[in-house]
Amino acid sequence: MYGFGVLKTLGIAFYHFVLTYVDDVKMGFGKRYTPEHLPERQGVNGRGIYTVRYPKEKLPLPERSRNHPFLVYIEETGKLKCTACGICAQACPVQCIWIERGKDPETGKPASFPAAFHIDQGLCIGCGMCAEFCPFDAIKMDMEYENSSYTRPGFVGIEELKKPESYHAKIHPTDYAREMEEKRLKEERKRKAAAAKAAKAKAAAAKKAAAAKKEQGEEPKG
């Protein structure tokens, strides 16, 4: 009959309306809106009100989330990990990274640290190519998204961009673990190579000493 289709549609809408409050009634009013229940409410099996009440509730961002880049510095020495190789400036699709290579204060030759490092915040699209191609893990993507401003965003330099390595470890735990693993493997390989070299040198020295002793032993006879 004409009109049943519309009733069916209204029925589905009513079903959604009822679904909104079913869990409230089951769990007791108010218990669904606690921070502990937020992942359940936002998960695959959540039904009912799906809203995240920003700014009171903030969704935790996954690890690979990217917004704008930042430079990593080592806290003990205060130096940046960046060696001013320039690969990030070449890989950036919008060319928003400007690097000036530093000079060695005594010799005046180019050195591996950046004298100036600027990023145009109004231009960066947050693609992550700089972090992907950096061979020294010196530039990483931050996930801060609350950076609206009253003035036009412009160039930022090293002072605004640098953040400590502990911050990087906090927001990217698996990436940091991978970096530590690679560092450990590299050190292990170096240590093994040094040990092998030392053992080889020792063997050569022992052989030489044995040969010299043999000669000495033969001489008085001859």
- Span 153-212, contacts to another protein by CB under 8 A: 153-155, 174
Among 146, 159, 218, 219, binds another protein (CB under 8 A): 146
Q: Compute the distance between CA of residue 213 and CA of residue 127 in angstroms, rounded to an integer.
A: 69
Among 38, 72, 80, 99, binds another protein (CB under 8 A): 99
Report the residue number, 56 or 221, with the smaller CB distance to another protein: 56
Q: Is the preceding omega at residue 55 within 30 degrees of 0, hence cis? A: yes
Q: How far is the CB of 210 from another protein (least distance, A)?
A: 49
| Strand-pair partners of 162 | 71
What burial class does residue 97 get, using C-beta atoms within 10 Å of its C-beta: 0-12 exposed, 13-18 middle, 19+ buried?
A: buried
Judged by DSSP in three states, 168 sits in helix
Q: Are the C-beta atoms of 125 and 94 separated by less than 8 Å?
A: yes
Q: Is 52 in the site for another protein (CB under 8 A)?
A: yes
Residues 58-77 that bind another protein (CB under 8 A): 58-59, 61-68
Report the residue number, 61 or 210, with the smaller CB distance to another protein: 61
Among 24, 111, 127, 165, binds another protein (CB under 8 A): 127
Report the residue number, 75 or 132, with the smaller CB distance to another protein: 132
Q: Which is nearest to 160 in space by CA: 172, 147, 171?
A: 147
**Structure token pair of residue 49:** 């009100």
**Structure token pair of residue 72:** 């990593």
| Strand-pair partners of 69 | 141
Among 44, 78, 109, 159, binds another protein (CB under 8 A): 44
Q: Compute the distance between CA of residue 110 and CA of residue 33 in angstroms, rounded to an integer.
A: 58
Site size toward another protein, by CB under 8 A = 75
What burial class does residue 209 get, using C-beta atoms within 10 Å of its C-beta: 0-12 exposed, 13-18 middle, 19+ buried?
A: exposed
Residues 17-36 that bind another protein (CB under 8 A): none
Rounded to 10 degrees, the C-alpha dihedral 193/199/201/204 comes to -140
Q: Is 220 in the site for another protein (CB under 8 A)?
A: no
Q: Is 116 in the site for another protein (CB under 8 A)?
A: yes
Among 24, 37, 129, 163, binds another protein (CB under 8 A): 129
Nearby residues of 21 by Cβ (< 8 Å), 6 or more positions away: 48
Q: How far is the CB of 34 from another protein (least distance, A)?
A: 18
Report the residue number, 25 or 44, with the smaller CB distance to another protein: 44
Q: Is 108 in the site for another protein (CB under 8 A)?
A: no
Q: How far is the CB of 147 from another protein (least distance, A)?
A: 6
Q: How far is the CB of 156 from another protein (least distance, A)?
A: 10
